[in-house]
Amino acid sequence: MLVYFKVGNYKSIKDPIVINFAATAINEHQDTNVFEKGKTKLLKTVLLYGANASGKSKILDAFVIYRALILDSAGYNSTRRVPVIPFDLNADTREQPSYFETEFILKNKRYRYGFEADEKSIRKEWLLEVKATTQTSIFLRIGQRFQVEYKKFLNAEHLETKCNENALFLSVADQWAVPLAKNIYSWFYDIYTIHGLMDDEYKEHTNELIKDPEYKVLINQMMQKADLGINSIEVIEITEEDKKRILMNTPDNLKESVGRVIDQDASPVLTKHYAYDELGNVIDEIAFDMAVHESEGTQKFYNIIGVILYAVKNGRVVVIDELDARLHTLLTKAIIRVFNANDIKTEAQLFAVAHDTAIMDRDLLRRDQIYIVEKDRFAATKIVNLVEYKVRKETPFDKNYLEGKYGGIPFIENFESLLKDGEKK
């Protein structure tokens, strides 16, 4: 479970900011939107709001890069650049390393893991075990100098010599079967990161899940309850034999293009709809190719629903940029309720960017589940948690937000003034 994510000096983020999943002491939605892990109360959902170009996506991008370095850096050759970009609008920060850290709970123990990196090397790296009043170092790294507590980091002896300057020690330790490193690596590997405008890659995940009878029922029920006019879903598997047979019956001048289409979508998804007569009686059921006939919103919902169901059933963290893009407000709210539901026993967490202010609903979210993101006069991303504002119980969050009381809204000048009487000015 994620307790917090901290990032500094990365892209539009200058000073460190913290996205906190530790619930505050407010009493809103205690029975639904919060779960307990030991003595810690954690939020099930956190949403980021703000104007375009405020840095919302940069915060999620920072988490994606942080995770990617954990998963991949052990495989870097010695000359590969570390994919971090400092805040470039300040003379000091452009020469300083980027900073990343999370605190998380794994097998009932809390850990803090972080690092500082520039494009050439890992400057610092640390892993700490966090207890009620103390923090115990498991390993500390400054450049290529390491201090390792081998009793806690078993099997890690002499791994310092196998760690390149541009690789994370945690990632190298995973490759060399250090038990704790493998467990931490696995926790980060199990996090889903989705861009809501580029979600096609998760279609195959849903397609795979639908082969499982339990998930097949759930996915079909979710598609029905979403009021998309779809009765059921069927995935067609095109085997190599099927491909050969199709190409054998395809004219020579079309073989290449048809083969390319099959390779791009080897598992087409069929959506089944009722057909009616003029009296409203069902007379048939028609199957459509989802990629051809269904809306982009329907396709997105199908693509991500497998991830959401699996995450909720298995207690995973899901990170989604543009959660509400192409989805109706009520459908986005329904997705959030799956994570926040009281009658679903799960430790899943959702960390997402949204634009639709109708989702900023006090009946759906606690104040500490909403962060407002904006840039200061130096073009650096800042955040504020809505819990820091005193809000009357009867006042809608979205109304106050759109009135500018929380900040984080764009000040858009009059476009019409640029054109007068159809002429450019």
CA atoms in the 13 A half-sphere facing the CB of 168 = 27
10-residue stretch averages of pLDDT, the chain, 425 residues long: 97 96 91 89 94 92 97 94 95 94 95 97 96 92 95 93 95 95 97 88 91 94 92 82 68 64 70 89 88 90 94 95 92 94 90 92 92 93 89 68 65 65 56
Planar angle of CA 21, 66, 111, nearest 5 degrees: 50
Report strand pairing: 98-106 vs 2-8. antiparallel
> Are 62 and 7 contacting, i.e. CB atoms less than 8 angstroms apart?
yes
**32, containing H or E segment:** none
Judging by beta carbons within 10 Å of its beta carbon (0-12, 13-18, 19+), is residue 149 exposed, middle or buried?
A: middle
How distant, in Å, are the alpha carbons of 78, 94, 111, 116, 186 from that of 156? 21, 34, 18, 21, 17
In DSSP notation, 13-24 reads B-S-EEEE-B--
pLDDT given for residue 66 in this prediction: 97
pLDDT given for residue 176 in this prediction: 94
Q: Does domain 2-191+316-402 correspond to CATH entry 3.40.50?
A: yes
pLDDT given for residue 225 in this prediction: 92
Report strand pairing: 370-375 vs 381-385. antiparallel
C-alpha gyration radius of the chain:
25
**308, containing H or E segment:** helix 296-314
How distant, in Å, are the alpha carbons of 23, 202, 332, 422 from that of 307? 25, 7, 15, 49
> Are 272 and 230 contacting, i.e. CB atoms less than 8 angstroms apart?
yes
The sign of the torsion formed by the CA atoms of 361, 367, 368, 370 equals positive
Report the chain's terminal Cα–Cα distance, integer Å: 55
Q: How many helices (H) and strands (E) does the chain have?
A: 11, 20
Exposure string over 345-359, b if 16+ CB within 10 A, otherwise e:
ebbbbbbbbbebbeb
d(CA 44, CA 17): 20
pLDDT given for residue 344 in this prediction: 86
Judging by beta carbons within 10 Å of its beta carbon (0-12, 13-18, 19+), is residue 267 exposed, middle or buried?
A: middle
pTM of the model: 0.88
Please list, in sequence order, all residues whose beta carbon lies within 8 angstroms of the beta carbon of residue 362, skipping any fewer than 6 positions away: 28, 393, 396, 397
- SS3 of 192, please? strand
> Are 106 and 187 contacting, i.e. CB atoms less than 8 angstroms apart?
yes
pLDDT given for residue 258 in this prediction: 52
Report strand pairing: 317-321 vs 192-195. parallel
d(CA 307, CA 219): 11
Longest dimension (CA), the chain: 79
Closest CA to 308 of 41, 326, 300: 300
DSSP assigned state of 405: S
- SS3 of 5, please? strand
The residue written with tokens 């929380």 in the block is 406
The two structure tokens encoding residue 281: 């009686």
The sign of the torsion formed by the CA atoms of 160, 191, 82, 6 equals negative
d(CA 45, CA 351): 6
Residue 113: count other Cβ atoms within 10 Å of its Cβ: 23
The residue written with tokens 């983020």 in the block is 13
The two structure tokens encoding residue 21: 């999943």
d(CA 213, CA 310): 13
The residues spanned by each domain of the chain are 2-191+316-402, 200-300
d(CA 44, CA 35): 7
